[in-house]
Amino acid sequence: MKSLGRHPDKALSALQVKQIKAPGRYADGNGLYLVVDLSGAKRWLLRTVVQGRRRDIGLGGVAITSLAEARDTAQIYRKVAREGGDPLTTRREARRVVPTFKVAAETVHAEHEVSWKNPKHAKQWINTLTQYAYPAIGEYRVDAVSTPDVLRVLSPIWLVKPETARRVRQRIGTVMDWAKAAGFRSGDNPIDGVGRGLPKQTDADKHHEAVPYAEVGTFVHSLQRSNAGPVTKLAFEFLILTVSRTSEVLQAKWHEIDLNAELWTLPAERMKAKREHRVPMAGRCLEILGAARALSPDADFVFPNASGDGPLSNMVFLAILKRMKLKATAHGFRSAFRDWAAEETSFPREVAEMALAHTITNKVEAAYRRGDLLEKRRDMLREWANYIEAGDQGSEI
């Protein structure tokens, strides 16, 4: 039977807590209990009503939580419960410590490292942040990192090491995106406005000026809505999707195209490396080819000039970029693809290099590389096409 006497209030003492050995539950009062397990371990338990239901909430072991601390915590939790809240939610929020940029970066790196098949890239990813970002913002909480902070990271290397600086900027952005998704920060990504505080990189600073890979989708959708000629727009998009060189696309002829195999085979004499190169084509490429054939059904060139008896001018893509007021080159889209492959996918480096038809400089590797990784490249280019299609369709460049 339940006792009809007064409910206990601070019934236990610190000495009793230490001396009690027998397994059982010992009331201190106001729902707080000392629980002694069969093993002899002792812990605190709060029994209270949370949102209409009885709940038992553990408050920790006696070894780390004193009687006085258990009473204080129990009082806080009972107050939360009386006001309609959930003490467990309160505890989780209290334990949720906002990480520093360094901790967040290492967390992101660890989460992605499993999917990165290239150990060298995985190491480079964290090393660039360790070298360039940590000294300036490594100990900042991720919710406190601001655009001026990122500017301090990038300014010393923006003109001296432009490619490295762009990669650092992208990687800081990835960490900040993770922090927002994890609930550690709100608002815009601090890298979004940092470009306005950085000087323009001149032609001497980089080989081919490129649209950042994250903006390629926006560019393609802007290209599709532009007033450029229909054949020119199709050719430019085809170049981006196949990551080919300008001359390779403009000189393409229909006899090189196998629509059934979804394959474009470029002869050795038209390739920089003087080797035949097979290009697997994603679904959007086939749509482009269908539209190009409909525009010029009798032409030998896939993307012919206005008269139909020759290819488009090799300056046509540069003209589009100038009209769209972009400081970039058509060749720069190959750089954008290479950055995307390294930063956003787990495809091995050699697959991306093969997609770009780069020469294997290592003679030993070249001697053993007999295949052209066609199906892996097909998967990669399909993902590239999907990434572009998913780009911001409502924005203009």
The residue type of 342 is: A
With vertex at residue 234, the alpha carbon angle to CA 397 and CA 396, rounded to the nearest 5 degrees, is: 10
User: Topology of domain 14-95, per CATH?
Assistant: Double Stranded RNA Binding Domain (3.30.160)
- Alpha helix (H) residue ranges in the chain: 14-19, 67-82, 87-95, 101-113, 119-128, 134-137, 147-154, 162-181, 216-225, 230-242, 246-250, 283-295, 316-323, 332-344, 349-355, 363-368, 374-389
pLDDT for 206 equals: 44
What does the domain layout of the chain look like in residue ranges? 14-95, 101-205, 213-389
pLDDT averaged over 10-residue windows placed end to end, the chain, 397 residues: 60 92 92 92 92 88 89 88 82 73 92 70 86 94 92 89 87 90 83 81 54 88 91 96 94 95 93 89 94 93 91 90 86 90 86 82 45 88 92 54
pLDDT for 203 equals: 45
CATH superfamily of domain region 213-389: Intergrase catalytic core (1.10.443.10)
Residue 233: which of 325, 377, 330, 338 has the closest Cα?
Answer: 330
Select from 1.10.150.130, 3.40.50.300, 2.40.30.10, 3.90.1150.10 the CATH code of 101-205. Answer: 1.10.150.130
Q: Which residues of 110-144 are buried (b: 16+ CB within 10 A; e: fewer)?
A: eebeeebebeebbeebbebbeebbbebbeebbbee
Query: What are 47's two structure tokens?
Result: 């029994």
C-alpha 329/C-alpha 327 separation (Å) is 7
Q: Enter the pTM of the model.
A: 0.49
For the chain, how far is it from start to end, CA to CA, in angstroms? 78
Distances from the Cα of 155 to the Cα of 84, 136, 206, angstroms = 51, 12, 16
- Domains 14-95 and 213-389 agree in fold: no
For residue 25, what are the β-bridge partners?
35
User: Are 67 and 12 in contact, with CB atoms under 8 Å apart?
Assistant: yes
C-alpha 122/C-alpha 373 separation (Å) is 22
pLDDT for 238 equals: 96
